[in-house]
């Protein structure tokens, strides 16, 4: 990936759709987390288009551990979004 000038192979985006308790994430302990945390719901269609544009002719893995509605939406977008020759492979994750 370095040869392709793509050092960021793993791109993790963290969204916080509820702000209850966000004040508990202040301080040095959570500094790395706060720099990656995005407040609000993700605009999934836009994200898929941007990811496809940056990963032309590639297969991109999509992983979800979350509510069923989010899982269904990501699965549908993974199956229907085809842009710049990019395909998306959906993976449901469960931690119990």
Q: Give residue limits of the domains in the chain.
A: 1-41, 43-96
Question: Tens digit of pLDDT for each residue in 57-95?
Answer: 999 999 998 889 999 999 999 999 878 899 999 999 887
State the DSSP H helix or E strand holding residue 54, giving kind and residue range, or none if neither.
helix 44-54
pLDDT in tens, 32-55: 777 778 888 899 999 999 999 988
What does residue 49 show for φ and ψ, rounded to 5 degrees? -65, -45
Sign of CA dihedral 59, 11, 44, 94: positive
- Output the CA angle 8-14-25, nearest 5 degrees: 120
Prediction pTM value: 0.72
């Amino acid at each position: 990936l370095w040869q392709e000038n793509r050092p960021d192979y793993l791109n993790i985006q963290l969204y916080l759709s509820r702000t209850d308790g966000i004040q508990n994430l202040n301080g040095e302990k959570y500094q790395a987390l706060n720099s990656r945390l995005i407040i609000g719901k993700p605009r999934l269609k836009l994200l898929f288009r941007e990811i496809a544009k940056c990963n032309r002719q590639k297969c991109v893995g999509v992983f979800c551990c979350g509510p069923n509605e989010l899982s269904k939406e990501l699965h549908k977008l993974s199956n229907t979004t085809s842009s710049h020759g990019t395909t998306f492979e959906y993976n449901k994750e469960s931690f119990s």
